[in-house]
Chains A and B, each alone.
Chain A
C-alpha cells in the first residue's frame, strides 16, 4: 500500500460526458502528479501541483483540468470525453520542495472506459 488513494477505481461512461477523478496523496506529501497511460503505452505526464499551486504542465488537453485543494487532495476533471480518452489515470505524490528525494508514490489508478 503506497498510501495514495484514488477513486473511482473503474469508471465507464459515454462520449461527450464529464468525469472527475479524485486523489488523496500520502500523508505529508505536498506534490501531486497526474499521469495518463493508454493501453500498452508509457506514462504521459499531465500536470503537477505543489501545495495547491500548479507547478508543471505536460501534454494536457484543454478539455482536461485539475486542481489541488487546501487539504492537498487533487481532482482531475475530464470533459467532452472521446473514445481516445479511455486509459488508466494514475495519481502520484511526493514530498516535494527542496527536501524532495523525488520518489513518486503511485495510487492504483482509475481505469476510465469511454463508450
Chain B
C-alpha cells in the first residue's frame, strides 16, 4: 500500500512557525507533494520534492527524507489566511498514481 499519514488537526499562533509532518510507505515512491486547500475550494499546489533535503519557497518550505519515508511542510510567519487544510500526497508507481493523505487542518489563532 501507499498509506500516507499526517496529523488531523493543528493549531498555531499568528506570526509563529508550524511544522506539519507526513509519513508514507516507500514502496514505488517517486515524489512527494504538498497542497493547500481552503474549505470548499480546490487544492492548490505548494511544493514537490523528489530528492532528499529542504526546498524553500517564500514562507513555505518542504523537506523530504526518502529513506525514512518522511516529509514535513514548514510554514513561517503564520498569517490568518494560512488557516486551511494541508494535504500531503505521494506519487507512486510507473503510472504516476497520486495518493493523498487525509489532510491536516491548520487553525491560525491571533
Contact = CB atoms under 8 A, between A and B. Distances in A.
B96 interface: yes
Nearest to B43: A106
Interface residues of A, number: 28
Identify the 7 closest CB pairs spanning chains A and B, nearest first: A42-B102, A106-B42, A43-B100, A56-B97, A102-B91, A55-B95, A42-B103
A94 B91 CA distance: 12
A88 B37 CA distance: 13
Interface string B22-50: 00000000110100000011111100100
A103 B42 contact: no
Nearest to A48: B97
Contacts of B99: 45
B42 A109 contact: yes
Contacts of B87: 42-43
Contact of A103 (B40, B48, B101): B48
Contacts of A97: 96
A101 B32 CA distance: 11
B98 interface: yes
A108 B42 contact: yes
Interface string B67-87: 000000000000000000001
Contact of B98 (A88, A102, A107): A102
B93 interface: yes
Contacts of B100: 35, 42-43, 45
Interface string A38-61: 000111010010100001100000
A106 B41 CA distance: 10
Contacts of A15: none
Contacts of A108: 41-42
A102 B30 contact: yes
